């Protein structure tokens, strides 16, 4: 075969696609309960949007973007993440002027990152994300975290944990940054060239370097927690209290810095603790991004959100052996015998479908036995048999496959019977 699905992408075949539908439905229902509304943004944006928002020194921007020149010679990038486009849209459509604030949005959209393929890591993956923009109340942080957990809970996952950190405000981050520079500078020649670059531009990024993560200086690096100012500390305490009061347990991890530059204050991840879940255990990542709107030319609009891939959710369900149920059994299979019956059968099929009944028929002119086999395989609850005689009398033979009973009925009777 000459063509294959591109590396890091996958075809989702019918044996799997129903699971995606179930999970997406569950997500939409949960968002509705929390009053988050769907937003859909384009698959590609100006490259500069991601450079600005996510940060030049992040792995996403420096190594993983699918960037191309369009025919107008503009640099465009396939969306690697959802926050920057949503904030762009928030500003562009002046959502800061909407009556209901904060604006609470969600999306289920494909993202693209040129990453090394691995279990749970794809080059195209679908992220469910939420963004609540326009409030700096720790209660909205708690709401967003709770929504993410609720989705996993409704899906049936049990082996998950919430990991929490505070990255502090600007002032705290500057103090921490200075401490990091002082810590790494004397030994920076022992680090990769990326880290050497990061030291000047963004020393925090050294902490999530995939090359140097074993270097002893990583473990002794100054922790952000020690540099939080009073305001940041109070914000974090308020969030922790809200979570605890809602019965949400968490682990604190001062090393959780997240791989995108726009974060401050709250940072969190939800991990799978299921045995047999692959090496990548992060199911969901999110945090607060006060200042991102201003950075992108908008008004002050503090925000918080998260992203979780559907792929990893499904992998976690598999690892925990949570069964998803699929009721895709057919209601009626229309068996026809002969040319005239086939024409009539097709009309019957159309009427059944118009009445909302799941129905199908044979399109390969197969013998009755083969048609009955198909009905069986499709777990059809009913079978109608139409032969010449039935065409003449304008009836069908209706078989109840479970009970093995049979009766002659007219088409209106057929629909009524099946609809129950």
Q: How far is the CB of 129 from ligand HAM (least distance, A)?
A: 5
Q: Assign residue 276 a region: left if phi > 0, alpha if psi is -120 to 50, beta otherwise?
A: left
Q: Residue 227 has what DSSP assignment?
A: G
Does residue number 121 form part of the binding site for ligand HAM (CB under 6 A)?
yes
Give the dihedral of Cα atoms 56, 62, 68, 74; nearest 10 deg. Answer: 20
Q: How far is the CB of 116 from ligand HAM (least distance, A)?
A: 9
- The residue range among 234-242, 302-310, 327-335, 344-352 that interacts with ligand HAM, by the rule CB under 6 A, is 302-310
Residue whose beta carbon is closest to ligand HAM: 305
Q: How far is the CB of 406 from ligand HAM (least distance, A)?
A: 52
Residue 54 in contact with residue 260, Cβ under 8 Å? yes
- The residue range among 94-102, 309-317, 333-341, 389-397 that interacts with ligand HAM, by the rule CB under 6 A, is 309-317
> Which one of residues 311, 320, 344, 362 is an interface residue with ligand HAM (CB under 6 A)?
311
d(CA 306, CA 163): 13
In the bound state with ligand HAM, the residue whose beta carbon lies nearer, of 125 and 382, is 125
The dihedrals phi and psi of 197, each to the nearest 5 degrees, come to -65, -40
Identify residues 360-389 at the interface with ligand HAM (CB under 6 A).
none
3-state DSSP of 71-85 = CCCCEEEECCCCHHH
- The residue range among 118-126, 245-253, 290-298, 316-324 that interacts with ligand HAM, by the rule CB under 6 A, is 118-126
DSSP 4-24: -PPTT-----HHHHHHHHHHH
In the bound state with ligand HAM, the residue whose beta carbon lies nearer, of 224 and 352, is 224
Residue 234 in contact with residue 206, Cβ under 8 Å? no
Q: How far is the CB of 131 from ligand HAM (least distance, A)?
A: 5
Q: How far is the CB of 273 from ligand HAM (least distance, A)?
A: 15
d(CA 38, CA 109): 11
- According to DSSP, the residues that pair with 237 across neighbouring strands are none
Sheet-wide strand order for 75-78:
44-46, 75-78, 67-69
Does residue number 138 form part of the binding site for ligand HAM (CB under 6 A)?
no
- The residue range among 33-41, 80-88, 248-256, 345-353 that interacts with ligand HAM, by the rule CB under 6 A, is 80-88
In the bound state with ligand HAM, the residue whose beta carbon lies nearer, of 115 and 331, is 115
> Which one of residues 180, 242, 283, 414 is an interface residue with ligand HAM (CB under 6 A)?
283
Identify residues 243-282 at the interface with ligand HAM (CB under 6 A).
259-260, 282
In the bound state with ligand HAM, the residue whose beta carbon lies nearer, of 260 and 296, is 260
Length of the chain: 420
d(CA 357, CA 366): 23
In the bound state with ligand HAM, the residue whose beta carbon lies nearer, of 115 and 295, is 115
Q: How far is the CB of 259 from ligand HAM (least distance, A)?
A: 6
Interacting residues of 372 by C-beta distance below 8 A, sequence separation 6+: 335, 383
Interacting residues of 50 by C-beta distance below 8 A, sequence separation 6+: 60, 61, 65, 77, 80, 81, 84
- The residue range among 35-43, 123-131, 146-154, 194-202 that interacts with ligand HAM, by the rule CB under 6 A, is 123-131
In the bound state with ligand HAM, the residue whose beta carbon lies nearer, of 150 and 360, is 150
| Interface size with ligand HAM, residues (CB under 6 A) | 26
- How far apart are the two ends of the chain, measured CA to CA in Å? 49
- Token digits of residue 149: 């957990």
Does residue number 103 form part of the binding site for ligand HAM (CB under 6 A)?
no
> Which one of residues 50, 106, 107, 122 is an interface residue with ligand HAM (CB under 6 A)?
122
Which residues contact ligand HAM by CB under 6 A?
81-83, 113, 115, 121-122, 125, 127, 129, 131, 259-260, 282-287, 305-309, 311-312
């Amino acid at each position: 075969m000459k063509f294959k699905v591109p590396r890091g992408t996958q075809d989702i075949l019918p044996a799997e696609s129903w699971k995606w539908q179930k999970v997406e439905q569950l997500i939409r229902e949960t968002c509705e309960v929390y009053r988050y509304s769907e937003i859909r943004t384009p698959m590609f944006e100006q490259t500069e949007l991601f450079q600005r928002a996510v940060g030049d020194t992040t792995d996403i921007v420096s190594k993983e973007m699918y960037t191309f020149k369009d025919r107008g010679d503009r640099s465009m990038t396939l969306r690697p993440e959802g926050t920057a486009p949503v904030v762009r849209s928030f500003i562009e459509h002046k959502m800061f002027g909407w009556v209901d604030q904060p604006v609470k949005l969600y999306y289920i959209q494909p993202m693209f990152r040129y990453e090394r393929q691995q279990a749970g890591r794809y080059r195209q993956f679908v992220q469910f994300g939420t963004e609540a923009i326009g409030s700096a109340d720790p209660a909205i942080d708690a709401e967003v975290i709770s929504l993410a957990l609720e989705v996993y809970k409704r899906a049936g996952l049990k082996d998950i944990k919430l990991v929490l950190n505070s990255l502090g405000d600007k002032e705290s981050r500057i103090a921490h940054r200075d401490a990091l520079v002082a810590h790494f500078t004397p030994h920076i020649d022992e680090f990769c060239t990326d880290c050497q670059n990061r030291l000047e531009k963004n020393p925090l990024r050294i902490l999530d370097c995939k090359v140097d993560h074993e270097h002893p200086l990583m473990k002794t690096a100054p922790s952000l927690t020690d540099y939080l100012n009073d305001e940041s500390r109070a914000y974090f305490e308020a969030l922790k209290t809200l979570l605890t009061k809602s019965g949400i347990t968490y682990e604190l991890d001062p090393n959780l810095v997240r791989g995108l530059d726009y974060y401050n204050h709250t940072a969190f991840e939800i991990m799978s603790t299921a045995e047999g879940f692959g090496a990548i255990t992060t199911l969901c990542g999110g945090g607060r991004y006060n200042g991102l709107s201003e950075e992108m030319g908008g008004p002050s609009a503090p925000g918080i959100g998260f992203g979780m891939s559907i792929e990893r959710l499904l992998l976690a369900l598999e690892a925990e052996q949570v069964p998803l149920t699929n009721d895709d059994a057919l209601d009626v299979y229309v068996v026809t015998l002969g040319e005239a019956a086939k024409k009539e059968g097709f009309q019957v099929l159309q009427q059944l479908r118009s009445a909302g009944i799941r129905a199908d028929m044979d399109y390969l002119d197969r013998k009755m036995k083969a048609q009955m086999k198909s009905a069986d395989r499709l777990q059809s609850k009913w079978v109608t048999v139409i032969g010449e005689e039935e065409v003449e009398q304008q009836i069908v033979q209706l078989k109840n496959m479970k009970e093995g009973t049979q009766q002659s009925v007219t088409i209106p009777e057929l629909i009524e019977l099946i609809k129950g």
